[in-house]
Protein backbone atom coordinates (compact mmCIF):
# COMPACT_ATOMS: atom_id res chain seq x y z
CA UNK A 1 0.00 0.00 0.00
CA UNK A 2 2.82 2.40 0.84
CA UNK A 3 4.05 4.52 -2.06
CA UNK A 4 7.81 4.95 -1.60
CA UNK A 5 10.06 6.94 -3.88
CA UNK A 6 13.71 8.02 -3.76
CA UNK A 7 14.34 10.58 -6.45
CA UNK A 8 16.38 13.62 -7.49
CA UNK A 9 13.31 15.48 -8.76
CA UNK A 10 11.13 17.74 -6.64
CA UNK A 11 7.61 16.67 -5.65
CA UNK A 12 4.23 18.38 -5.68
CA UNK A 13 2.79 18.15 -2.16
CA UNK A 14 -0.81 18.81 -3.19
CA UNK A 15 -0.65 16.20 -5.97
CA UNK A 16 0.77 13.58 -3.59
CA UNK A 17 -1.90 14.26 -0.97
CA UNK A 18 -4.58 13.95 -3.67
CA UNK A 19 -3.06 10.65 -4.85
CA UNK A 20 -3.06 9.20 -1.32
CA UNK A 21 -6.70 10.23 -0.83
CA UNK A 22 -7.73 8.90 -4.24
CA UNK A 23 -6.21 5.51 -3.40
CA UNK A 24 -7.97 5.07 -0.05
CA UNK A 25 -11.52 4.61 1.21
CA UNK A 26 -13.14 6.32 4.18
CA UNK A 27 -10.23 8.59 5.07
CA UNK A 28 -10.97 11.00 7.89
CA UNK A 29 -7.50 12.41 8.48
CA UNK A 30 -4.50 13.20 6.29
CA UNK A 31 -1.23 14.39 7.84
CA UNK A 32 1.47 15.85 5.62
CA UNK A 33 5.04 16.52 6.69
CA UNK A 34 7.46 18.29 4.36
CA UNK A 35 11.13 18.59 5.29
CA UNK A 36 12.69 21.67 3.69
CA UNK A 37 16.33 22.76 3.29
CA UNK A 38 17.19 25.66 5.66
CA UNK A 39 19.66 28.43 4.82
CA UNK A 40 20.76 28.45 8.46
CA UNK A 41 20.73 32.25 8.61
CA UNK A 42 22.24 32.68 5.15
CA UNK A 43 25.24 30.45 5.92
CA UNK A 44 24.21 27.64 3.59
CA UNK A 45 24.18 27.68 -0.24
CA UNK A 46 22.95 24.10 -0.62
CA UNK A 47 22.82 20.63 0.89
CA UNK A 48 24.17 17.71 -1.09
CA UNK A 49 22.31 14.52 -0.22
CA UNK A 50 24.11 11.27 -0.87
CA UNK A 51 22.17 8.01 -0.60
CA UNK A 52 22.67 4.28 -0.83
CA UNK A 53 20.71 3.32 -3.96
CA UNK A 54 18.61 0.22 -3.38
CA UNK A 55 19.01 0.17 0.37
CA UNK A 56 17.40 3.63 0.71
CA UNK A 57 14.16 2.39 -0.87
CA UNK A 58 14.28 -0.92 1.02
CA UNK A 59 14.94 0.66 4.41
CA UNK A 60 12.15 3.21 3.96
CA UNK A 61 9.86 0.32 2.97
CA UNK A 62 10.80 -1.54 6.18
CA UNK A 63 10.03 1.54 8.29
CA UNK A 64 6.77 2.09 6.38
CA UNK A 65 5.76 -1.54 6.96
CA UNK A 66 6.40 -1.09 10.68
CA UNK A 67 4.23 2.07 10.69
CA UNK A 68 1.45 0.14 8.96
CA UNK A 69 1.78 -2.61 11.56
CA UNK A 70 1.48 -0.14 14.45
CA UNK A 71 -1.28 2.15 13.17
CA UNK A 72 -4.45 1.56 11.13
CA UNK A 73 -3.33 3.54 8.07
CA UNK A 74 -5.40 3.78 4.93
CA UNK A 75 -2.74 5.46 2.82
CA UNK A 76 0.97 6.21 3.07
CA UNK A 77 3.44 8.01 0.84
CA UNK A 78 7.13 8.72 1.50
CA UNK A 79 9.32 10.60 -0.96
CA UNK A 80 12.98 11.33 -0.17
CA UNK A 81 15.09 13.40 -2.55
CA UNK A 82 18.84 13.15 -3.19
CA UNK A 83 21.34 15.36 -4.99
CA UNK A 84 21.91 19.10 -4.61
CA UNK A 85 19.08 20.83 -2.72
CA UNK A 86 19.02 24.58 -2.11
CA UNK A 87 17.46 26.49 0.82
CA UNK A 88 13.70 26.62 0.48
CA UNK A 89 13.57 23.44 -1.59
CA UNK A 90 11.89 20.23 -0.49
CA UNK A 91 13.92 17.31 0.91
CA UNK A 92 11.40 14.80 2.20
CA UNK A 93 7.64 14.21 2.17
CA UNK A 94 5.56 11.97 4.41
CA UNK A 95 1.80 11.68 3.86
CA UNK A 96 -0.26 9.47 6.18
CA UNK A 97 -3.99 8.87 5.92
CA UNK A 98 -6.26 7.17 8.42
CA UNK A 99 -9.82 7.23 9.70
CA UNK A 100 -8.90 9.40 12.70
CA UNK A 101 -6.24 12.02 13.28
CA UNK A 102 -4.24 10.40 16.08
CA UNK A 103 -3.02 7.48 13.97
CA UNK A 104 -2.10 9.79 11.08
CA UNK A 105 -0.19 12.23 13.33
CA UNK A 106 1.64 9.51 15.25
CA UNK A 107 2.56 7.48 12.17
CA UNK A 108 3.95 10.57 10.40
CA UNK A 109 6.03 11.45 13.45
CA UNK A 110 7.28 7.86 13.79
CA UNK A 111 8.21 7.74 10.10
CA UNK A 112 10.20 10.96 10.26
CA UNK A 113 12.05 9.93 13.43
CA UNK A 114 13.04 6.64 11.83
CA UNK A 115 13.95 8.17 8.48
CA UNK A 116 16.35 10.53 10.28
CA UNK A 117 18.30 7.75 11.94
CA UNK A 118 17.81 4.66 9.72
CA UNK A 119 17.37 5.76 6.10
CA UNK A 120 20.80 5.66 4.39
CA UNK A 121 21.14 9.32 3.43
CA UNK A 122 23.99 11.69 4.30
CA UNK A 123 23.98 15.49 4.04
CA UNK A 124 27.00 17.54 3.06
CA UNK A 125 26.93 21.32 3.41
CA UNK A 126 27.88 23.74 0.65
CA UNK A 127 28.43 27.16 2.21
CA UNK A 128 27.37 30.53 0.83
CA UNK A 129 31.03 31.66 0.71
CA UNK A 130 31.80 28.88 -1.79
CA UNK A 131 33.56 26.53 0.60
CA UNK A 132 32.44 23.12 1.80
CA UNK A 133 30.98 22.98 5.28
CA UNK A 134 31.64 19.26 5.54
CA UNK A 135 29.29 16.43 6.43
CA UNK A 136 26.40 17.11 8.78
CA UNK A 137 26.90 15.36 12.12
CA UNK A 138 24.05 13.27 13.50
CA UNK A 139 22.06 14.95 16.26
CA UNK A 140 21.63 13.21 19.57
CA UNK A 141 18.05 14.54 19.74
CA UNK A 142 17.27 12.51 16.61
CA UNK A 143 18.50 9.30 18.24
CA UNK A 144 16.47 10.12 21.34
CA UNK A 145 13.40 10.86 19.23
CA UNK A 146 13.73 7.46 17.55
CA UNK A 147 14.32 5.69 20.87
CA UNK A 148 11.00 6.90 22.30
CA UNK A 149 9.13 4.57 19.90
CA UNK A 150 10.96 1.45 21.07
CA UNK B 1 32.57 -9.68 -2.07
CA UNK B 2 31.58 -6.15 -2.97
CA UNK B 3 32.31 -3.42 -0.43
CA UNK B 4 30.58 -0.05 -0.77
CA UNK B 5 31.52 3.17 1.03
CA UNK B 6 29.42 6.29 1.56
CA UNK B 7 29.83 9.93 2.64
CA UNK B 8 33.05 10.68 4.56
CA UNK B 9 34.01 7.00 4.69
CA UNK B 10 33.97 7.04 0.86
CA UNK B 11 35.92 10.31 0.75
CA UNK B 12 38.60 9.10 3.16
CA UNK B 13 39.10 5.81 1.33
CA UNK B 14 38.95 7.51 -2.05
CA UNK B 15 36.59 5.09 -3.73
CA UNK B 16 32.89 4.30 -3.64
CA UNK B 17 33.17 0.54 -4.03
CA UNK B 18 35.57 -2.31 -4.60
CA UNK B 19 35.69 -6.08 -4.82
CA UNK B 20 37.74 -7.78 -2.10
CA UNK B 21 38.48 -11.35 -1.06
CA UNK B 22 39.11 -11.31 2.68
CA UNK B 23 41.00 -14.23 4.27
CA UNK B 24 39.05 -16.91 6.05
CA UNK B 25 39.60 -15.58 9.58
CA UNK B 26 37.56 -12.48 8.66
CA UNK B 27 34.15 -13.62 9.85
CA UNK B 28 32.24 -10.55 11.05
CA UNK B 29 31.68 -6.97 9.98
CA UNK B 30 34.07 -5.85 12.74
CA UNK B 31 36.71 -8.33 11.48
CA UNK B 32 36.27 -6.94 7.97
CA UNK B 33 36.71 -3.34 9.15
CA UNK B 34 39.83 -4.35 11.06
CA UNK B 35 41.21 -6.20 8.03
CA UNK B 36 40.47 -3.22 5.75
CA UNK B 37 42.34 -0.93 8.19
CA UNK B 38 45.49 -2.86 7.40
CA UNK B 39 45.20 -2.13 3.69
CA UNK B 40 46.56 1.40 3.86
CA UNK B 41 46.55 4.79 5.53
CA UNK B 42 43.33 5.86 3.82
CA UNK B 43 41.49 2.86 5.32
CA UNK B 44 43.06 3.41 8.73
CA UNK B 45 41.85 7.04 8.55
CA UNK B 46 38.31 6.00 7.56
CA UNK B 47 38.03 3.49 10.42
CA UNK B 48 40.05 5.55 12.92
CA UNK B 49 37.25 6.36 15.38
CA UNK B 50 35.89 3.18 16.92
CA UNK B 51 32.13 2.94 16.69
CA UNK B 52 31.76 5.86 14.27
CA UNK B 53 31.37 3.73 11.15
CA UNK B 54 28.07 1.90 10.62
CA UNK B 55 27.56 -1.13 8.39
CA UNK B 56 24.99 -2.87 6.25
CA UNK B 57 25.14 -6.45 4.97
CA UNK B 58 23.16 -7.02 1.80
CA UNK B 59 21.46 -3.64 2.29
CA UNK B 60 20.29 -4.23 5.86
CA UNK B 61 21.63 -2.46 8.94
CA UNK B 62 23.76 -4.75 11.09
CA UNK B 63 25.79 -4.66 14.30
CA UNK B 64 29.60 -5.11 14.23
CA UNK B 65 29.32 -8.75 15.31
CA UNK B 66 27.16 -9.67 12.28
CA UNK B 67 28.62 -12.49 10.17
CA UNK B 68 29.64 -11.77 6.59
CA UNK B 69 29.62 -15.37 5.34
CA UNK B 70 27.66 -15.59 2.11
CA UNK B 71 27.16 -11.83 1.84
CA UNK B 72 27.19 -10.32 -1.64
CA UNK B 73 27.60 -6.73 -0.48
CA UNK B 74 28.85 -5.07 2.68
CA UNK B 75 28.62 -1.28 3.07
CA UNK B 76 30.37 1.06 5.50
CA UNK B 77 29.10 4.56 6.23
CA UNK B 78 28.80 7.27 8.92
CA UNK B 79 25.68 7.65 11.07
CA UNK B 80 22.83 8.68 8.80
CA UNK B 81 21.57 12.24 8.48
CA UNK B 82 18.57 11.91 6.20
CA UNK B 83 15.07 13.25 6.62
**Domains present along chain B, CATH in parentheses:** 2-77 (3.10.20.30)
Please answer yes or no on whether B80 and A121 come within 8 Å at the CB atom: yes
Q: Render the burial of A108-121: b for 16+ CB within 10 Å, e for the rest.
A: bbbbbbbbbbbbbb
Q: How much is the average pLDDT of A114-131? A: 96
- Rounded Cα distance between A101 and B36, Å, is 50
Please answer yes or no on whether B82 and A50 come within 8 Å at the CB atom: no
Ordered DSSP codes for A41-109? TTTEEEEEEEE-TTHHHHHHHHHHHHHHHHS-EEEEEEEEE-EEE-TTSEEEEEEEEESSHHHHHHHHH
Give B26's pLDDT tier (boundaries 50, 70, 90): very high
pLDDT of A31: 98
What CATH number belongs to A3-147?
3.90.1170.40
pLDDT of B49: 85
Q: How much is the average pLDDT of B24-40? A: 96
pLDDT over 70, % of chain A: 100
Please answer yes or no on whether B82 and A52 come within 8 Å at the CB atom: no
> Smallest CA–CA separation between B60 and chain A, in Å?
7
Interface check for A91 against chain B (CB to CB < 8 A): the answer is yes
**Tens digits of per-residue pLDDT, A2-39?**
999 999 999 999 999 999 999 999 999 999 999 999 99
0.90 surpassed by complex ipTM: yes
Give B40's pLDDT tier (boundaries 50, 70, 90): very high
pLDDT over 90, % of chain B: 94
Q: How much is the average pLDDT of A67-94? A: 98
pLDDT of A32: 98
pLDDT of B56: 98
Q: Render the burial of B26-49: b for 16+ CB within 10 Å, e for the rest.
A: bebbbbbbeebeeeeeebebbbee
Quote the mean pLDDT of chain A.
96
pLDDT of B50: 75
Domain residue ranges in chain A:
3-147
Q: Can you give the pTM of this predicted structure?
A: 0.95
pLDDT over 90, % of chain A: 90
pLDDT of A92: 98
pLDDT of B82: 92
pLDDT of A43: 95
Which chain B residue is nearest to residue A91, measuring alpha carbons? Answer: B83
Amino acid sequence: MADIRVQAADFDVAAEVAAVQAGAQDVGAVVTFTGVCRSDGGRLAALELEHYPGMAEEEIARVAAEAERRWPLKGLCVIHRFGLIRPGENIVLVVTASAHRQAAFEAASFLMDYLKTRAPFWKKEHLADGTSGGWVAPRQEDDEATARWE
Amino acid sequence: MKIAYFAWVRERIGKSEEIVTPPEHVRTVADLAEWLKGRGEEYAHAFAEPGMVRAAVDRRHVKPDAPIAGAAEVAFFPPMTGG
